[in-house]
Homo-oligomer: A and B are copies of this chain.
């Protein structure tokens, strides 16, 4: 679970704050970082300086925009030669992780996830990224995706920084995939809880049902953002992209393994939730059987004495009519009948 990057215990909030730009041509909040020859040289420098910096081949730049509008991206679009379709996709929620190749850059979308432990709802936060040879531009729709955690990962393995954009992208995706994996893990815990409730003696089947429905829904949503990640990571490793070199390959392979694990986990969870649903149905039907049997038993124990009292209430001179013997007989038969029935049903396990 813990990737090698997370060992340095710096403060993610601080690292993220240091990168915030004070001067930026975009109206939305921006963050910048500049690496030269594998060393972090600058942080929070003005966005406008990026093009000057990029003239130097040994420089790698990271730019992060939080909820930019059309104009914000328009500025970048010209400077980095971004394709209008990619810019369009970065502005509008696209609901599907993908990697698009454009002549001058790559365009990636992925989804960080978080499970609301209380309700079992899955929150997704879209992340778009433009990837060029020297720059990584990340576009976030909201602050859900913790960019500080990404920076922390980058800083925890500085020796990889010399691999440029491939390294930055690895840190980013590693974080995204970890949130997905964590969501799968939380869903598993959620399922485990449900399971315990399932066989509880106190019936709360409606709650189980409601929660398992939510669980299933969250699983469907998680699958939708995790499944295409396999293709995305696989595409990133294509040699013709020159993004992942020989040294980074094990890291991307590791990423790929994580994605597959997350997928396999959601798949097996799906199986489990189906089991829960079907088991719940059988348990309820079993409960109905038990209730029906109990009801019947007690109904009989009441109905038979009622019949006897009816008999002794007839206005015909039955033996014992209006006599003490009759009373004794009535009480006797009522008590005996009741007891016999009680014993029979107890034995048959109907009470």
Contacts and interface: CB of A to CB of B under 8 A. Distances in A.
Nearest to A293: B291
A307 B312 CA distance: 12
Given A311-B309, A315-B314, A88 B264 contact: no
16 contacts: A85-B250, A96-B261, A96-B264, A98-B257, A100-B254, A217-B275, A284-B286, A288-B289, A291-B293, A302-B303, A311-B334, A312-B315, A313-B315, A314-B327, A315-B315, A316-B320
B264 A224 contact: yes
A220 interface: yes
Interface stretch (A127-135, A137-145, A147-155, A205-213): A205-213
Interface stretch (A1-9, A48-56, A58-66, A116-124): A1-9
Given A285-B284, A296-B291, A314 B306 contact: no
A13 interface: no
Contact of A282 (B275, B284, B307): B284
Given A227-B264, A314-B330, A321-B327, 6 more contacts: A85-B251, A205-B282, A206-B286, A281-B282, A292-B292, A316-B330
A324 interface: yes
Given A209-B282, A280-B282, A306-B307, A100 B250 contact: yes
A312 B314 contact: yes
Give the copy number.
5
B209 A96 contact: no
Nearest to A185: B95
Q: A-B pairs with the 10 shortest C-beta distances? A: A309-B310, A316-B326, A312-B314, A316-B327, A313-B313, A295-B296, A96-B261, A284-B285, A302-B303, A220-B268
A321 B88 CA distance: 90
A272 B220 contact: yes
Secondary structure dominating the interface of A: helix
B213 A275 contact: yes
Contacts of A10: none
A33 interface: no
A299 B299 CA distance: 9
A338 to B, nearest CB: 10
Contact of A316 (B203, B288, B323): B323
Contact of A209 (B227, B246, B286): B286
Contact of A321 (B2, B278, B309, B315): B315
A261 B98 CA distance: 10
A140 to B, nearest CB: 19
Contacts of A216: 271-272, 275
B327 A318 contact: yes
A309 B299 contact: no
A305 interface: yes
Nearest to A284: B285
A291 B289 contact: yes
Contacts of A311: 305, 309, 330, 334
Contacts of A250: 83, 85-86, 100, 102
Contacts of A330: 311, 314, 316, 318
A298 to B, nearest CB: 6
